[in-house]
């Protein structure tokens, strides 16, 4: 069940309660039912918030690789992932969804190239292995983009899960391994 569907259900429930409150007061102000419904109306947003636990990824200091420009890239990737997740969850517009996916893929490529440039220029010993991880991720993403072109919206949940897990694990694992070397070589 998508968040958009949940939002519609909650909006419909609010509408019904408001109508029931109006009808209840028509019977008389001593009628307890509309007063109970008013309390329910106040509690609905709280329940909605809890029901729709926030899946937004939040940047944490522990993700830092200690190099500002690369941290900023990683922050932007997290922002684009969240934007992509919102596009999937609310499915308001196929064009917005496609653009969010394209933007995320394009920035991932851009970031990988920047990171590889730093590793290469500084003679990072594990450069080839790191680059291979980037390349296999890009191949995987390209296959997802093709799948999206064939299957549309429903294929995006898999893409979102994969990108979120892969990027967070990569940033927090493989990327951190280059920190000491790059910083020692004067890259900031």
Q: Site residues (CB under 5 A) for Fe ion?
A: 115, 175
CA distances from 46 to 10, 12, 43, 50 (A): 11, 16, 5, 6
Output the CA torsion sign for 37, 38, 40, 44.
positive
CB of 143 to Fe ion, least distance (A): 19
**Closer by beta carbon to Fe ion, 97 or else 175:** 175
Output the CA torsion sign for 63, 66, 71, 72.
positive
**Closer by beta carbon to Fe ion, 37 or else 134:** 134
CB closest to Fe ion, residue no: 175
**Closer by beta carbon to Fe ion, 84 or else 148:** 84
CB of 123 to Fe ion, least distance (A): 17
**Closer by beta carbon to Fe ion, 89 or else 115:** 115
Rounded CA separation 97/34 (Å):
42
CB of 46 to Fe ion, least distance (A): 38
CB of 145 to Fe ion, least distance (A): 20
Q: At 123, give phi and psi (nearest 5°).
A: 65, 40
């Amino acid at each position: 069940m998508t968040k958009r569907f949940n939002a519609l259900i909650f909006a419909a429930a609010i509408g019904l309660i408001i109508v029931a409150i109006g009808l209840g007061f028509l019977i008389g102000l001593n009628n307890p039912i509309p007063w109970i419904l008013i309390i329910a109306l106040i509690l609905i947003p709280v329940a909605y918030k809890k029901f729709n636990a926030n899946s937004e990824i939040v940047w944490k200091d522990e993700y830092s690789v200690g190099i500002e420009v690369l941290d900023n890239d990683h922050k932007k990737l997290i922002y684009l992932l969240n934007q992509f997740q919102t596009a999937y969850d609310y499915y308001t517009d196929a064009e917005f969804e496609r653009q969010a996916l394209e933007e995320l893929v394009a920035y991932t490529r851009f970031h990988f190239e920047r990171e590889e440039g730093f590793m290469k220029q500084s003679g990072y010993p594990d450069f080839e292995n790191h680059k291979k991880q980037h390349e296999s991720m890009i191949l995987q993403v390209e296959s997802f983009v093709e799948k999206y072109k064939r299957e549309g919206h429903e294929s995006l949940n898999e893409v979102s899960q994969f990108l979120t897990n892969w990027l967070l694990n990569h940033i927090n694992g493989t990327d951190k391994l280059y920190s000491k070397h790059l910083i020692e070589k004067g890259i900031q």
